[in-house]
Amino acid sequence: MAPVQNVPFVSILLCMVCALLCAVLPGKAARFLARAVPGLICLGNLALTFAFRDLEPFHYPMGHFPAPWGNELRAGPLEAVCSAALALTAFLSLNAGMRKVRQQIPERKQNLFCVVTLMTLCAVCALLYTNDLFTGYVFIEISTLSAAALIFSRQDDRSLAASLRYLVMNLTGSGLCLMGISMLYGITGQLNMESIRQSLAAAEGPPSLPLRAVMVLLTVGLSIKCGLFPFHEWLPDAYAYSTPASSALLSSVVSKGYLFLLIKFYMRCVGLEAVRASGLATALSSLAGLGLLIGSLHAIRQWDLRRMISYSSVAQISFVFLAVGLCTPEAMTAAVFHMLVHAFGKSMLFLSASGLSDVSGGRFDADSLQGAGKRHFAAGAAFTLGAVSMTGVPLLGGFLSKIYLSQAAIATSGPLSAAVLLLLALSTFLNTLYFLHAVVGIYRPGPLETPPRRATGAGYLVSLCLMMAVNLYLGTASASLYSTLLRGISLFA
């Protein structure tokens, strides 16, 4: 075992131990840990990604007992790239948002906020790497609890109400997930994903009724947690009313962990053909199509900038489900690529929106944000870059992910590809409606008097520029990233 192969184990345990440390450390040291640890994990996973150029995916048994008896992690190029990207998003959003954390969260409870952020990152790393379904369920619970704590950390009326609605809906979702996992254990007797695949492969023919039920239960449970169309009521309030750092973390890091587990379940436990044969794929695509339209339509109607971004997050999540619904390796690569683009773009949008509201009297409605782009240059540029990337303008990530999805859609013959291409065009049109309207709004000449300008820290500006650089990298030089993802998906099953 090369030393770099310990990175998955170290990144999970490091997060957990640092979260323990933050609980007893004073606020200042805890905030430093919350900013530094995601960076360490990003570097470790980057090293693992480069090591995977000449390394085969390997299994990492947790303990002295091999796979079906003990837990185990499985690391491949796809998992390494995704955890490096999500750790980088968490690192940048926490550094950018730490200023607001100090202002909005009560003084003696900031170290508890750092405990919760580190636990979120630990849960997402574990969801990316685990090869055991019940470990996946335990870390789904950790991720749900820490996301609820992220939402109510600001402790004002709306975030408490939003976090309660979030918890009630997500706990129903994880109850359904556990029901699916126990039914799968009932028919296969295994909890390890590859062993499940072997015992399912023994039973030939179309997927049996319990297997179809398991797929439905897990898909519904995890799409409740990701905020797919019919189950997205909790999402706008949850993302809009928490501190900017936590809404960036929630929209870009937490929902990606559940999505990745669902893709892993489809490709590794059940196989894409069974998913297509069971008719689940068409159901997912149609729900995603509806979600795309309704999310964008809602976003146009919003007058609060944060709620607009949250509803656009509903649309982007259903964009990824649209790609997953196509059930081909290229479509899965497009889905994972768009997950990363959405992670970087959305966190930048939330944090630049908080910067814009700093210079317009702390309000988020369109009237007071007029001309905010001119008053706060960095936040205005970041917001424009993020908005334009989400609509899919060339030189930015959104454009490439739409191209990769349309290639994947054309490759799959049949009515589904035509529908996907139509939905792509329609969603691009709707995205431009509300995003460019907001971008034009922040550069329109503002009211005569300029409200008092709240000082913005250096950390905020530096991380915003880094985020812009990463988004530009995703748009222009991401061919190597895409090839790594393609290789990862081929080695994933």
Residue selected from 199, 407, 476, 483 as contacting other proteins according to rule CB under 8 A: 199
- Please count the residues of this chain forming the interface with other proteins, following the rule CB under 8 A: 86
Nearby residues of 444 by Cβ (< 8 Å), 6 or more positions away:
370, 371
Residue 451 DSSP one-character state: P
Using the rule CB under 8 A, is 354 a contact of other proteins? no
Rg (CA), the chain: 21
Q: With CB under 8 A as the contact rule, which of the stretches 8-16, 75-83, 333-341, 421-429 interacts with other proteins?
A: 8-16
Euclidean distance between CA atoms 328 and 336, whole angstroms: 12
Cβ atoms of residues 249 and 243 within 8 Å: no
CB of 445 to other proteins, least distance (A): 13
Using the rule CB under 8 A, is 61 a contact of other proteins? yes
Q: With CB under 8 A as the contact rule, which of the stretches 184-192, 291-299, 327-335, 408-416 interacts with other proteins?
A: 184-192
Using the rule CB under 8 A, is 115 a contact of other proteins? yes
Quote the tokens at residue 417: 């590809």
**Between residue 291 and residue 310, which ones bind other proteins under the rule CB under 8 A?**
304
Using the rule CB under 8 A, is 486 a contact of other proteins? no
Cβ nearer to other proteins, comparing 161 with 461: 161
**Between residue 440 and residue 479, which ones bind other proteins under the rule CB under 8 A?**
447-449, 451-452
Euclidean distance between CA atoms 472 and 399, whole angstroms: 11
Residue selected from 26, 28, 50, 186 as contacting other proteins according to rule CB under 8 A: 186
Is beta strand 58-61 parallel, antiparallel or unpaired with respect to 72-75?
antiparallel
Cβ nearer to other proteins, comparing 201 with 448: 448
Cβ nearer to other proteins, comparing 71 with 391: 71
Cβ atoms of residues 413 and 406 within 8 Å: no
Quote the tokens at residue 384: 């424009």
Euclidean distance between CA atoms 248 and 309, whole angstroms: 11
Residue selected from 6, 282, 328, 417 as contacting other proteins according to rule CB under 8 A: 6
What is the pattern of x (binds other proteins, CB under 8 A) and - over residues 212-251?
A: -x-----------------------x--------------
Name the nearest CA neighbour of 175 among 132, 221, 133. Answer: 221
Euclidean distance between CA atoms 156 and 402, whole angstroms: 38
CB of 469 to other proteins, least distance (A): 33
**Between residue 359 and residue 378, which ones bind other proteins under the rule CB under 8 A?**
361-363, 367-368
**Between residue 308 and residue 337, which ones bind other proteins under the rule CB under 8 A?**
none
Q: How far is CA 230 from CA 167, 204, 287, 295, 428, in A?
A: 17, 34, 8, 10, 21
Cβ nearer to other proteins, comparing 111 with 333: 111
CB of 69 to other proteins, least distance (A): 5
Cβ atoms of residues 148 and 167 within 8 Å: yes
Cβ atoms of residues 125 and 83 within 8 Å: yes
CB of 343 to other proteins, least distance (A): 23
Using the rule CB under 8 A, is 90 a contact of other proteins? no
